[in-house]
Amino acid sequence: MTDAADEHRITVTVNGEPHAVEVEPRLLLVHLLREGLRLTGTHIGCDTTNCGACTVLYDGTPVKSCTMLAVQADGHEITTVEGLGSLSELDPVQEGFTIEHGLQCGFCTPGMMLTAKALITNNPNPSEEDVRWGLSGNLCRCTGYQNIVKAVLWAAAKQHGHVAETNGQGTTVSGRT
Amino acid sequence: MSQALDEVKIGGLGSSRQRVEDARFIRGRGNYIDDLKLPGMLHMEILRSPLAHARIISIDTSAAWAIPGVRLVLTGEMAAQRNLAWMPTLSYDTQAVLATDKVRFQGQEVACVVADDPYIAKDACEAIVVEYEPLPVIVNPIQSLAPDAPLIRDDKEGQTDNVCYRWEVGDKQGTDRAFAQADHISRLKLHYPRSHPSPIECCGSVADYNAATGKLTVYMTTQAPHIIRAAVALVAELPEHMIRIVSPDLGGGFGNKVPVYPGYVCSILGSILTGKPVKWIEDNFGNLISTGFGRDMYLDSELALRKDGKILAVRFHADTDQGAFFSDAQPSKFKIGLVHSAFACYDIPVGHITARGAYTNKAPGGVAYRCSFRVTEAMFFQERMIQAAAADLGMDQAQFRRINLRRADDFPARTPFGFLVDSGQYHKCLQLGLDAIGYEDFKREQAQARSRGRRLGIGISTMTEPLGAGNSREYDILGIKMFDSAELRVHPTGKAILRTGAKTQGQGHETTWAQIVSHELGIPADDVIVEEGDTDTAPFGMGTYASRSTPVAGAAVSMVARKVRAKARKLAAHLLEVSEEDIEWELGRFYVRGAARRGVTIQECAMAAYTNMPDGMEPGLENNAYYDPPNLTWPFACYIATVEVDPETGVWDVLRVVAVDDCGVRINPMIVEGQIMGGLAEAYAMANMQFMTYDADGNMIGANYIDYLLPTAWETPGFELHEVVTPCPHHPIGAKGVGECAAVGGPAAFVNAVMNALEDTGVRNIDMPVLPDRVWQAIQTGRDVSGAPPVRQD
C-alpha cells in the first residue's frame, strides 16, 4: 500500500508515443503497459523472468517487463508487439512467424517476436545456432521451436530482400545437432 | 461455370493454409483471460498453505480486512456457509475449495482476498494469519498404501486407508497359464515421474454475477466450457440456463485447463458476494504447485517370452499417486484412464492388469497432460519393456518388434484388454523410420565408436494409441456422454459461420474446421468463420483434450456440412427445374446429370434458401450435428532417437530424431507437423529434464521455472518428420487424432537410446528424467536408478 503522495511522475515513450503517468514505485513495467496503457499484447507468463512472454524492447534491447519497475523506464523508449509493424504493414518477423507456422496458442509469440527482432537487428545474418541461442530466454510449450527458428531465419532473409522459398509445407531444418 | 474447383486452392483438405488465428496473435490483439477488463472489476488473490499436511487451528483475517481497498476476505468457514467449502471432482471424489479442517498438500487454497487491485489483494493475503498444527506427511504411494499409514482423507466417510481406487482388467488365469509355459520372463519396474502440463498462460477467470438478472457469466481458461457449465450448475446450485461460460483465447492447455479449480469457484463466490465482476489470475507458482499434474505412476511388469522372440502374455501392476484429492479428468468407467491400451500394437494373446490409486500429501490432478488419459504412461512403459525384453533375449530391438507387431492384414483386432484396433501399417511405419535414421549404418558406427570408448545409443518407440473418446457406450465424464457437436449457418451470400463444442488452445480449429467445411461444400475456407468456447452460442460439446477434437468434433463438422449439402441439393433441383435424383455434385456445385454445363453453385443455392425456396420448404440453410463416434481412432507412429552419452559426466546429447506418424488423412499438413514437433519437444523434455518432485516434508521441488525445467530452443533437438497415411476406417474424412502422439510415444525413444548406450553396463532402467547425475550414478554402480520421491523416516 502506498499513498498517492508516494507516486512518481514518469515519462515513457511507448511505440513512439510519449506518455506522462503517475505510478506507484513498486508498479511493474508490464502492469504499466497492460493496465495503465491497455497494451495487452505483452503477456505475463511466469512472474520470475524465466519464460520471456513479457519481453519488450527497452531502447531496442529485449527486457523482461515482469521484473522491471515502471519507474526504471522513465525517459526511455519501449517497444511492444503493438509497435512491431502496423495493422496494415507487418514487420518481417511477424510475417515470418505466420508463414513458417511459428506460433500455435500465441501466448509466447509477442515476447518471442521482440527477442527475434532485436536478434536480427544486431545480427542480420544469424545461423540456426545463433537463433536458437538468441531465443533461449523465451519459452514456448506448443511448437517445439523448430518453426520459430525457421520464422526468424525467414525474417532475417526478408530484411535483406531474400525471401526464403520455404513455406512451412513439410520442410525441415536440421536443428542443433 | 464448368471448371472444377481446386480443393487445395480454396483451402480444403490437404491445404497447408496459413492460420486464421495468427492475424490477431502476431499483432498482440489476442483476447486472453487477463486481457479482459469489465467495468467495476475487482481482483482476487489466493492464500496458499505453506505446509503439506496440517490441522488449521485458527485463521485471523482482521488485519487483511483493515487494508483500504479490500472488499472481501473469504475463508473456508464462509464458503461452508454457502455449501461451497468442498466441490465434486471430475472423478467422483470431493476436493476442498478453501480448507476448513486441514490442509492436505503444500499450496492448498486456504483463503482469498478480493480487492480493488491485485497489489492490494496480495498485500492483504500476506496480512492473514493462519495457525497450523503440523501432521505427518506422506509423499510416496508405497508408504501411503502401507497398512499403518496415517489416514489422509479422514474427511471422507467410510475411508479407512489411503486407497483411492482399485481396478483390474484382463484374464488372470489365462495369463498365469501363459507365463507357466514361457521360455523366459522379462521384468521391469519403473516410475513415470510427476510432470506438469505448464502452459505458459496460467489459469484464470473473470466471474460476473448480475444480481438484477440472476445471470452468471464466467470468462475462464477452460478446455471444456460445457462440462464446466454443468459442473457450476451442480456445485453452485444455479440454474444452468442462467450460467454462461466463455473460454477466450487460451495460452495453451495441454490438459491443465480441463478441471474445475478452487480459484474459479472462489471468483464466482466473490462476484456473488460483492456484486461486482471479480478477476482471478493465477501466478505461475500457484499453477505449478496446485493445479492438475500428469503421470506419477509406478509400474511393475512382466512379459512371458518364447525363445524365438514371440511375446506370449503380459501382466503388470500400476500404482498411481493421486495426491490429496482424486481429481483426474478422465472417462468415469476407467479409474486409471486408458492405461490398458498398453501393448495394443503388438499381437499378444493374453494379459492381465491390476491398478491402485493412492492418496498422498501432494497436489491433486492426474490430468491427461497431452495425453489420452494415461496412455502416455502406458506407451512409455510398453516401449521400455519391449526394449528390456529384446535385450534380455539378446535380440535386435527392431527385429523383436517385427516379430511381435500386428501385421497390416490383422485388422480389426481385439486387444487382450478389450480395445478394438481397426487399422494399422506398423511394419511399414517402422521400416520407414529405420531407413530414415539409417539403422544398420548407425549400428556399425556405434560399434566402432564403442571400441574407441564413446557411447552411442539408438532408441526406438513404436506404438498405436486410442484417441478421440468416445463412443458414448463406454466413455462419459460425470455421466455426460463423450460425443461432440457442430452447428453450421450458411448466410445468403454463401459465407458461413461454424460453431463446435470443442475449444481450441493453439491447435488451430479456426483454420482447420473451415477446411473441412470447404472440403464438404466447396465454399472457400476464407468464407467460413469458426467460433468456439461460448456456451450461450456453441452447441453442447465435451471440449478439447485427449486429441479428441478432430476425431469427434471434426467429424461433426463433416456431418453438419453434409446435412447442409443435402438441403442445398433440394434447392439446386428447384433452381434447375429437375428432380433431385437427376442432380449430381462436384466440389462447390450441383449440376444436371448428363448436362454438366447446367449447374448452380453452392453460393447460388444459399441465396435461394433465403430468396427463392420452393413452396413448402423451410427457409434458411443451417443445421447442427451431434456425432457419436463408433470407435476411437488409432493413429500410430515410430519414433527413433540417437544419442551420445558422456560417461564422464552422464550428460547425453541427442544426435538425431526421426518421427514417422500416421494420423490418417491430414486436414492441414502444416498444422499437423506443428503438433507433432510440439509433442516431440515435450517428449524430449520429459526424458531429459522436466519433472516435479517433493522432499520428505512435502515441499514441492518444481513450483517455479528455476526448479521445473522446460527446454528452450537451445536444448531442444531438431526433428525429421515422415508420414504414413492409413485413413481411419470410420471417420467421415479418414482423419485421426494427432496432437499428443509424439508426446506419448516420444519419451521412450530417448530413454531407450540412453539405455541402449549403456547396454553393456548391466543397468536396465534409469527413471525419467534421465538426468546426468542419474546416468553417472548408473554407470558408476552398474545399478538401476529410481526417481521416486523419498519415504519419510520418522
Query: What's the CATH number where A24 sits?
Result: 3.10.20.30
Q: In whole angstroms, give the CA distance from residue B312 to residue B188.
A: 16
Question: Is B792 annotated as catalytic?
Answer: no
pLDDT at residue B690 greater than cutoff 80:
yes
Q: Count CB neighbours of B498 within 10 A.
A: 23
Mention every residue, 6+ apart, whose C-beta is less than 8 A from residue B774. Answer: B650, B766, B767, B785, B787
- Cell numbers given for B277: 465482476
pLDDT at residue B760 greater than cutoff 80:
yes
Q: In whole angstroms, give the CA distance from residue B20 to residue B541.
A: 22
Among B26, B67, B253, the residue with its CB nearest the CB of A97 is B26
Q: In whole angstroms, give the CA distance from residue B195 to residue B291.
A: 11
| Per-residue pLDDT, B1 | 47
Mention every residue, 6+ apart, whose C-beta is less than 8 A from residue A93. Answer: A84, A113, A116, A117, A120, A151, A152, A155
Question: Is B370 annotated as catalytic?
Answer: yes
Set of chain A residues whose Cβ sits within 8 Å of the Cβ of B704: 46, 48, 50
pLDDT at residue A162 greater than cutoff 90:
no
With 0-12 / 13-18 / 19 or more C-beta atoms within 10 angstroms meaning exposed / middle / buried, residue B474 is middle
Among A83, A115, A138, identify where a domain stops: A83
- What is the distance in angstroms between the Cα of B23 and the nearest Cα belonging to chain A? 8
Among A50, A83, A116, identify where a domain stops: A83
Alpha-carbon torsion angle B15, B21, B23, B24, nearest 10: 180
Please write the tens of the pLDDT for every residue from A78-94: 999 999 998 889 999 99
Q: In whole angstroms, give the CA distance from residue A71 to residue B164.
A: 52
The helix/strand/coil state of B292 is coil
Cell 478480493 belongs to B114
Q: Are residues A98 and A121 in the same domain?
A: yes
| Per-residue pLDDT, A173 | 44
Cell 545480427 belongs to A123
| Per-residue pLDDT, B353 | 98
Question: Which segment of A50-54, A158-162, B37-41 scores lowest on mean pLDDT?
Answer: A158-162
CA terminus-to-terminus distance, chain B: 84
Q: In whole angstroms, give the CA distance from residue B663 to residue B727.
A: 8
pTM of the model: 0.96
Set of chain B residues whose Cβ sits within 8 Å of the Cβ of A87: 27
CATH number at residue A144: 1.10.150.120
Q: Which residue of B has its CA nearest to A141?
A: B199
Mention every residue, 6+ apart, whose C-beta is less than 8 A from residue B227. Answer: B90, B258, B477, B478, B480, B542, B543
Q: Are residues A98 and A79 in the same domain?
A: no
Set of chain A residues whose Cβ sits within 8 Å of the Cβ of B721: 170, 172
- What is the distance in angstroms between the Cα of B95 and the nearest Cα belonging to chain A? 26
| Mode of pairing for the β-strands spanning B54-60 and B204-210 | unpaired
Q: Are residues A74 and A107 in the same domain?
A: no
Beta carbons of A39 and B28 less than 8 Å apart: yes
Q: Are residues A79 and A106 in the same domain?
A: no
Asked whether residue A176 is assigned to any structural domain, the reply reads no
Q: Are residues A131 and A162 in the same domain?
A: yes
Distances (CA, A) of B58 to B100, B151, B154: 10, 22, 19
Alpha-carbon torsion angle B365, B368, B370, B374, nearest 10: 120
Among A137, A167, A175, the residue with its CB nearest the CB of B717 is A175
Among A48, A66, A83, identify where a domain stops: A83
Beta carbons of A172 and B22 less than 8 Å apart: no
At position B133, the amino acid (one-letter code) is E
Set of chain B residues whose Cβ sits within 8 Å of the Cβ of A176: 714, 716-718
CB pairs under 8 A between A and B: 210
| Per-residue pLDDT, B493 | 98
Tally of domains within chain A: 2
pLDDT at residue A2 greater than cutoff 50:
no
Q: Are residues A96 and A76 in the same domain?
A: no
Beta carbons of B34 and A80 less than 8 Å apart: no
| Per-residue pLDDT, B464 | 98
Name B633's bridge partners. Answer: B467
Q: Are residues A19 and A55 in the same domain?
A: yes
Q: In whole angstroms, give the CA distance from residue B25 to residue B20.
A: 10
The tally of CA atoms less than 13 A away on the side-chain side of residue A72 is 14
Please write the tens of the pLDDT for every residue from B268-298: 999 999 999 999 999 999 999 999 999 999 9
Q: Are residues A70 and A100 in the same domain?
A: no
Beta carbons of B251 and A105 less than 8 Å apart: yes
| Per-residue pLDDT, B619 | 98
Please write the tens of the pLDDT for every residue from B178-190: 999 999 999 999 9
pLDDT at residue A177 greater than cutoff 50:
no
Distances (CA, A) of B307 to B159, B381, B383, B599, B786: 47, 22, 19, 67, 29
Tell me the percentage of chain B whose pLDDT exceeds 70.
99
Cell 433431385 belongs to B580
Set of chain B residues whose Cβ sits within 8 Å of the Cβ of A150: none
Closest CA to B685 of B658, B711, B650: B711
Mean pLDDT of A142-169: 84
- What is the distance in angstroms between the Cα of B199 and the nearest Cα belonging to chain A? 6
Asked whether residue A172 is assigned to any structural domain, the reply reads no
Beta carbons of B670 and A107 less than 8 Å apart: no
Q: In whole angstroms, give the CA distance from residue A104 to residue A140.
A: 9
Closest CA to B291 of B48, B5, B626: B48
Distances (CA, A) of B23 to A103, A150, B496: 11, 19, 19
Mean pLDDT of A2-28: 90
Q: Are residues A12 and A77 in the same domain?
A: yes
Average pLDDT, chain B: 96
Q: In whole angstroms, give the CA distance from residue A83 to residue A41.
A: 10
- What is the distance in angstroms between the Cα of B624 and the nearest Cα belonging to chain A? 27
Distance of CA B238 to the CA centre of its chain: 29
Set of chain B residues whose Cβ sits within 8 Å of the Cβ of A47: 283-285
Which segments of A15-156 are extended strands (E)?
Answer: 17-23, 55-58, 61-64, 77-79
Q: Which of B104, B153, B315, B370 is catalytic?
A: B370
Asked whether residue A135 is assigned to any structural domain, the reply reads yes
| Greater model confidence, B333 or B489 | B489
Q: How many residues does chain B have?
A: 794
Sheet holding B129-134, edge to edge: B102-103, B54-60, B129-134
pLDDT at residue B458 greater than cutoff 50:
yes
Mean pLDDT of B599-609: 98
Given its phi and psi angles, is residue A11 left (phi above 0), alpha (psi -120 to 50 degrees) or beta?
beta
Beta carbons of A50 and B704 less than 8 Å apart: yes
Q: How confident is the model at residue A170 (pLDDT cuts 50, 70, 90)?
A: very low
Asked whether residue A171 is assigned to any structural domain, the reply reads no
| Per-residue pLDDT, A172 | 42
Q: How confident is the model at residue B342 (pLDDT cuts 50, 70, 90)?
A: very high
Q: What b/e readout covers B693-706, taking b as 16+ CB neighbours within 10 angstroms?
A: bbebebbbebbbbe
Q: Are residues A54 and A117 in the same domain?
A: no
Set of chain A residues whose Cβ sits within 8 Å of the Cβ of B681: 143-145
pLDDT at residue B769 greater than cutoff 90:
yes
| Per-residue pLDDT, B2 | 53
Q: In whole angstroms, give the CA distance from residue A176 to residue B717.
A: 6
Q: A interface mutation test: which of B25, B120, B652, B688 has the most A CBs within 10 A?
A: B25
Q: How confident is the model at residue B794 (pLDDT cuts 50, 70, 90)?
A: low
- Which phi and psi angles does A77 have, rounded to 5°? -110, 130
- What is the distance in angstroms between the Cα of B21 and the nearest Cα belonging to chain A? 9
Asked whether residue A173 is assigned to any structural domain, the reply reads no
Q: In whole angstroms, give the CA distance from residue B325 to residue B363.
A: 8
Q: How many residues does chain A have?
A: 177
Give B631-652 as a DSSP string: S-B--EEEEEEEEEE-TTT--E
Mean pLDDT of B576-596: 97
Please write the tens of the pLDDT for every residue from B301-311: 999 999 999 99
CA terminus-to-terminus distance, chain A: 51
Mean pLDDT of A143-154: 98
Q: A interface mutation test: which of B18, B27, B288, B512 has the most A CBs within 10 A?
A: B27
Cell 486464421 belongs to B20
pLDDT at residue B393 greater than cutoff 70:
yes
Asked whether residue A101 is assigned to any structural domain, the reply reads yes
Please write the tens of the pLDDT for every residue from B14-69: 999 999 999 999 999 999 999 999 999 999 999 999 999 999 999 999 999 999 99
Set of chain B residues whose Cβ sits within 8 Å of the Cβ of A44: 34, 281
| Per-residue pLDDT, B791 | 78
Alpha-carbon torsion angle B113, B116, B118, B122, nearest 10: -40
Asked whether residue A174 is assigned to any structural domain, the reply reads no
Asked whether residue A149 is assigned to any structural domain, the reply reads yes
pLDDT at residue A165 greater than cutoff 60:
no
Domain span including residue A120: 92-166
Q: How confident is the model at residue B195 (pLDDT cuts 50, 70, 90)?
A: very high
Q: Which of B223, B382, B505, B675 is catalytic?
A: B223
Q: Which residue of B has its CA nearest to A135?
A: B713
Q: Are residues A104 and A43 in the same domain?
A: no
Closest CA to A110 of A67, A176, A48, A57: A57
Q: Helices B602-611 and B555-576, interaxial angle, to 10°?
A: 70
Closest CA to B376 of B293, B465, B459, B301: B465
Beta carbons of A98 and B19 less than 8 Å apart: yes
Q: Are residues A66 and A104 in the same domain?
A: no
